[in-house]
Chain A
Amino acid sequence: EDKVVQSPLSLVVHEGDTVTLNCSYEVTNFRSLLWYKQEKKAPTFLFMLTSSGIEKKSGRLSSILDKKELFSILNITATQTGDSAIYLCAESYGGATNKLIFGTGTLLAVQP
Chain B
Amino acid sequence: DAGITQSPRYKITETGRQVTLMCHQTWSHSYMFWYRQDLGHGLRLIYYSAAADITDKGEVPDGYVVSRSKTENFPLTLESATRSQTSVYFCASSDPNLDEQFFGPGTRLTVL
The answer to whether A31 touches B45, judged by C-beta atoms less than 8 angstroms apart, is no
- Of B10-18, B64-72, B94-102, the one contacting chain A is B94-102
Q: Are B106 and A42 touching (Cβ within 8 A)?
A: yes
Does A22 lie at the interface of the complex (its beta carbon under 8 Å from any beta carbon of B)? no
Cβ-closest chain A residue relative to B106:
A42
Whether a CB of chain B sits under 8 angstroms from the CB of A104 is: yes
From B40, B42, B48, B56, contact of A102 by CB (8 A): B42
Q: A1-B59, A41-B106, A43-B43 are in contact. Are A98 and B99 (CB under 8 A)?
A: yes
- Tell me whether A99 and B102 are in contact (CB under 8 A): no
Given A98-B31, A103-B42, A104-B42, CB of A92 within 8 Å of CB of B103: no
B58 contacts chain A at the CB level, 8 A cutoff: yes
Tell me whether A98 and B94 are in contact (CB under 8 A): yes
With a cutoff of 8 Å between Cβ atoms, the chain A residues found around residue B104 in the complex are 42
Write out the residue numbers on chain B whose beta carbons fall within 8 Å of the beta carbon of A100. 33, 43, 45, 99, 101
Interface string of B25-64 (1 = CB under 8 A from A): 0000001010100001111110010100000101100000
* Contact code string B81-112 (vs A, CB < 8 Å = 1, else 0): 00000000010001010111111111000000
Contact between B48 and A99, CB atoms less than 8 A apart: yes
Contact with B along A28-53 (1 / 0, CB 8 A): 00011010000001111100100000
Given contacts A31-B99, A41-B105, A98-B101, 18 further A-B contacts (CB under 8 A): A34-B100, A41-B106, A43-B43, A43-B103, A45-B101, A48-B100, A88-B42, A88-B43, A90-B43, A97-B48, A97-B56, A98-B96, A99-B33, A100-B101, A101-B45, A102-B44, A104-B41, A104-B42
Q: Which residues on B are within 8 Å of A, measured CB to CB?
A: 31, 33, 35, 40-45, 48, 50, 56, 58-59, 90, 94, 96, 98-106
